[in-house]
């Protein structure tokens, strides 16, 4: 318990009220976006044997919530949706048709230090294409992002690069071991936060040579049009096989995206993108939240071809991205893209007492039949206090139907924002309200 | 690991394919139903200090997943949504307006023995009204059920009773201690499974007297019209204060529901309903799945006025029900209310190669703009194999747009169920498909 005697654990969110209403709408819009691109829903367990979570994840034991269950099995809570996907695909390989295009929306847990915008339990929305190593899968997993974000009114830039290009850079600089290569990538990954000089200091700290620093600086300075970036990358890393392949593939990706009808500023080929995780093997993707680019990537991922075992031929290729809903929400909140008071409810009936309740119930159900969210004030409070509740709850319309109105077979509809009142025939109420809402 | 070397824990579901598509649609329809009645969304943490989960829950330690985290706090995974609601309301009492009408949809965990239709992780959809002890709240929490179930095409009967009536029965029979009363209620709760004789045997086993057995038999035999049930209950339990109050309240509940425009068979006042949990204090609710009544209740709950502490005045009254989604889904599956092959995707583009990809992407995005889920075949497979994939995936329309069609500025639309093909002008495609889907 904390100092107030509370039982709440830090790093865990309580979501409710207007913020939760908007969170739910945003998540639903994104899920509709997943459907539009033919991704199929999936839900996988939250609990796994700890050993299968840890295997090849690069996630330290300290970051995983793990424990022994009543059968003394060593269990862990999932910390992402990718490890469970690997587990699922490996066991169901023969039941799936490939490419397997799925999305998963759900909570993950990290026994992390909580902080501003960092939670121990948070929702992730993952999209993956498994069993397809084509350039087309790379393009699809990147090109759906701006459309989905547009649906929720968020302006983004999708930034693309390739781990193969980074490998090419490492090979050109003769960085030999995989561990040193990953250290180099992780240093470059900090570019957004620390700039070129910060990356170079980081590399120096890890003992990289002056030559590598010079090469990295040149690399990070590459910018301009696709053609320009591609030709400079070709010059810099093209002598390595991996670098050459990476540049060639990104050339194809950018060409198709440019010809698909997107706006130029929705995508950029950006050599400074590196991603922290070790398992990426091809395209890597980050998404800049344009209203405030300091917010870090709100949708990230890439190709991970050497991660999911294929029982017959080595590995199943895969590419995917993950949307961090709660970070996205925090970013939208801080840039005033969330509203302060939003409710789903459109209409509330003032309650004149239990005798009238069957009438309210009938009328409310007729509105609900048209898809209009309607509630009936619940208390025996004074009429004035009921209006106060409706006002505080931001419900746009209040309906008064008391003995006086019943005698005249009308209801009074009050528009709460304008404080104007109209008398409507009972039988006309559903159509009247529907028209008002659509105004 | 199990005998196949798998890493899957038993009692945990993997949801995907057609079943998952339908589960998602059903859950969304139910959530829309919650909105229609003015319930607001809420998401509360999955992890709590174990002591706060256990407090007054009646849930045995063996049923709770609990462990010590890295800070040596004793943590538990939530096993329902009611305990977290209590915790939330108690800490946020001064920030909430009452009645607080909320719903929560999410997973809960039980370290239970898994079995047919019993999982260790499953989704529950809870609806609660906190801070309102009125008969109207009782009515609302019951009356939304048939409407929500209608939305997903499930025929139900909502069965109502009151713990106060049961208390009245216990008082009439002079069952004195609370523990003995609860034992009596739990015996009656088994009525659906074991019948009157089974309940009486159970009572005998617990040492209840012949008189109690006789009284309970009389009580369980009460049936007929509302008026009849109410007058018989009045005769049987009305001498106790609690019994009298319970019968009077249920009389009001039934009268309002009957006058609200529901069909008679959607609600029944059923004295055999008792509910297993100890914390109920008033109305109790179970929902019979009419296509197969042996399935047990698919939406249950009741009033629990002595559970949530109110910092100023003792307790906050509350009433709520919970829908067990996965049980509902299992029931629908077994009665053929789920279809064998359902996808969200409506259209797939046959892929003639990378050069055509920008065209497919543009056309697909124009369909997506109309809300039509569209995918582009992903592989460099033969055309025949692509059709095979579309067929297997149950996607209703395939679109062929190759060099031949491009020259004529048309696409070929194949209806996969009828195997008929039509040639359509490219510019007419979106409207053509929209019409076909609405047919």
pLDDT digits (tens, 9 = 90+) for B380-417: 788 999 999 999 999 999 999 999 999 999 999 999 99
What is the pLDDT, as a whole number, of residue A59? 76
What is the pLDDT, as a whole number, of residue A8? 76
Q: Of A35, A45, A147, which is closest to B365 when you measure between CB atoms?
A: A147
Nearest residue of chain A to residue B347 (CA atoms): A38
pLDDT digits (tens, 9 = 90+) for B239-250: 999 999 999 999
Q: Which residues of B touch A43 (CB under 8 A)?
A: 13-16, 20, 23
pLDDT digits (tens, 9 = 90+) for B265-274: 999 999 999 9
Nearest residue of chain A to residue B352 (CA atoms): A136
Count the residues in chain A.
Answer: 439
CB contact under 8 A, A139 and B49: no
Question: Percent of chain A having pLDDT more than 70?
Answer: 98
Nearest residue of chain B to residue A391 (CA atoms): B97
Residue located via tokens 């991922």: A301
What is the pLDDT, as a whole number, of residue A113? 82
Number of other residues whose CB lies within 10 A of the CB of residue A404: 11
pLDDT digits (tens, 9 = 90+) for B287-304: 999 999 988 899 999 999
Prior bond of B233 cis (ω within 30°)? no
Q: Of the ranges A50-64, A391-405, B145-159, B420-434, which one carries the lowest mean pLDDT score?
A: A50-64
| pLDDT-based confidence at residue A3 (cuts at 50, 70, 90) | very low
Number of other residues whose CB lies within 10 A of the CB of residue A178: 11
What is the pLDDT, as a whole number, of residue A117? 67
Interface of A with B in 81-110 (CB under 8 A): 87-88, 91-92, 97, 99, 101-102, 106-107, 109
Interface test with A, best of B10, B41, B406 (most A CBs within 10 A): B41
What is the pLDDT, as a whole number, of residue A439? 85
CB contact under 8 A, A16 and B42: yes
Beta carbons of B377 and B349 less than 8 angstroms apart: yes
Beta carbons of B102 and B40 less than 8 angstroms apart: yes
Give the residue, A366 or B340, on which the prediction is more confident: A366
Write out B113-166 in H/E/C secondary structure. CCECCECCEEEEEEEEEECCCCHHHHHHHHHHHHHHHHHCCCCEEEEEEEHHHH
| Cα distances (Å, whole numbers) of residue B12 to A52, A124, A224, B111 | 15, 20, 50, 11
CB contact under 8 A, A8 and B129: no
What is the pLDDT, as a whole number, of residue B117? 67
pLDDT digits (tens, 9 = 90+) for A216-230: 999 999 999 999 999
Q: Of the ranges A302-316, A402-416, B30-44, B246-260, which one carries the lowest mean pLDDT score?
A: A302-316
Residue located via tokens 């949307």: A323
Q: Which residues of A touch B354 (CB under 8 A)?
A: 135-136, 252, 256
The predicted model gives A58-75 an average pLDDT of 84
pLDDT digits (tens, 9 = 90+) for B309-332: 988 878 999 999 999 999 899 999
Confidence check: pLDDT of B5 > 50: no
Going along chain A from its start, the domains and CATH numbers come out as: 1-133 (3.30.930.10), 137-304 (3.30.930.10), 347-438 (3.40.50.800)
Confidence check: pLDDT of B180 > 60: yes
CA-closest candidate to residue B433, choices B390, B389, B370, B391: B370
The predicted model gives B341-345 an average pLDDT of 91
The predicted model gives B57-86 an average pLDDT of 88
The pLDDT mean for chain B works out to: 93
pLDDT digits (tens, 9 = 90+) for A349-389: 999 999 999 999 999 999 999 999 999 998 678 899 999 99
The predicted model gives B59-79 an average pLDDT of 87
pLDDT digits (tens, 9 = 90+) for B108-135: 999 988 776 678 999 999 999 999 999 9
Give the residue, A312 or B239, on which the prediction is more confident: B239
What is the pLDDT, as a whole number, of residue B61? 76
All residues at 6 or more sequence positions from A378 whose CB lies less than 8 Å from its CB, including other chains: A351, B99, B101, B129, B132, B134, B136, B137, B140
Assess B329–A contact: CB distance below 8 Å, yes or no.
no
Confidence check: pLDDT of A5 > 80: no
Assess B132–A contact: CB distance below 8 Å, yes or no.
yes
ipTM of the shown complex:
0.94
Q: Which residues of B touch A2 (CB under 8 A)?
A: none
Q: Of the ranges A51-55, A102-106, A167-171, B12-16, which one carries the lowest mean pLDDT score?
A: A51-55
- Collapsed DSSP state (helix, strand, coil) of residue B243: helix
What is the pLDDT, as a whole number, of residue B3? 39
The predicted model gives A98-124 an average pLDDT of 90
């Amino acid at each position: 318990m904390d100092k107030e005697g509370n039982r709440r654990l830090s790093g865990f969110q309580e979501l409710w009220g207007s913020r939760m209403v908007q969170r739910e709408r945003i998540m639903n819009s994104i899920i509709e976006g997943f459907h539009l691109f033919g991704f199929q829903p999936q839900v996988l367990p939250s609990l796994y044997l700890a050993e299968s979570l840890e295997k090849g994840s690069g996630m330290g034991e300290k970051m995983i919530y793990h424990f022994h269950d009543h059968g003394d099995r060593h269990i862990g809570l999932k910390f992402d949706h990718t490890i469970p996907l690997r587990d699922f695909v490996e066991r169901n390989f023969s039941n799936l048709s490939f490419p397997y295009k799925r999305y998963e929306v759900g909570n993950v847990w990290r026994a992390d230090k909580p902080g501003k915008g960092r939670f121990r339990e948070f929702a992730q929305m993952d999209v993956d294409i498994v069993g397809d190593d084509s350039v087309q899968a790379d393009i699809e997993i990147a090109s759906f992002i701006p459309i989905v974000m547009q649906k929720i009114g968020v302006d983004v830039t999708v930034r693309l690069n390739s781990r193969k290009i980074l490998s090419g850079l490492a090979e050109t600089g003769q960085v030999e071991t995989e561990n040193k290569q990953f250290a180099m990538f992780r240093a470059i990954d900090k570019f957004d936060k620390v700039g070129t000089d910060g990356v170079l200091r980081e590399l120096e700290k890890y003992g990289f040579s002056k030559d590598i620093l010079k090469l990295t600086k040149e690399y990070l300075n590459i910018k301009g049009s696709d053609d320009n970036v591609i030709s400079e990358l070709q010059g810099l890393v093209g002598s390595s096989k991996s670098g050459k392949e990476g540049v060639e593939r990104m050339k194809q990706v950018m060409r198709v995206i440019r010809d698909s009808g997107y706006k130029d500023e929705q995508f950029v080929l950006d050599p400074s993108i590196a991603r922290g995780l070790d398992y990426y093997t091809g395209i890597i993707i980050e998404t800049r939240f344009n209203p405030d680019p300091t917010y870090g990537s709100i949708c990230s991922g890439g190709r991970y071809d050497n991660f999911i075992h294929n029982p017959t031929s080595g590995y199943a290729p895969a590419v995917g991205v993950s949307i961090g809903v709660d970070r996205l929400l925090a970013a939208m909140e801080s840039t005033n893209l969330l509203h302060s008071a939003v409710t789903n409810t459109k209409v509330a009936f003032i309650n004149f007492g239990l005798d009238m309740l069957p009438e309210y119930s009938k009328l409310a159900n007729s509105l609900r039949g048209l898809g209009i969210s309607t509630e009936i004030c619940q208390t025996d409070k004074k009429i004035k206090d009921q209006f106060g509740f409706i006002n505080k709850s931001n419900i746009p319309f209040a309906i008064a139907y008391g003995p006086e109105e019943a005698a005249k077979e009308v209801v009074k509809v009050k528009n709460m924002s304008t404080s104007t009142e109209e008398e409507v025939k009972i039988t006309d109420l559903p159509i009247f309200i529907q028209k008002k809402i659509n105004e």
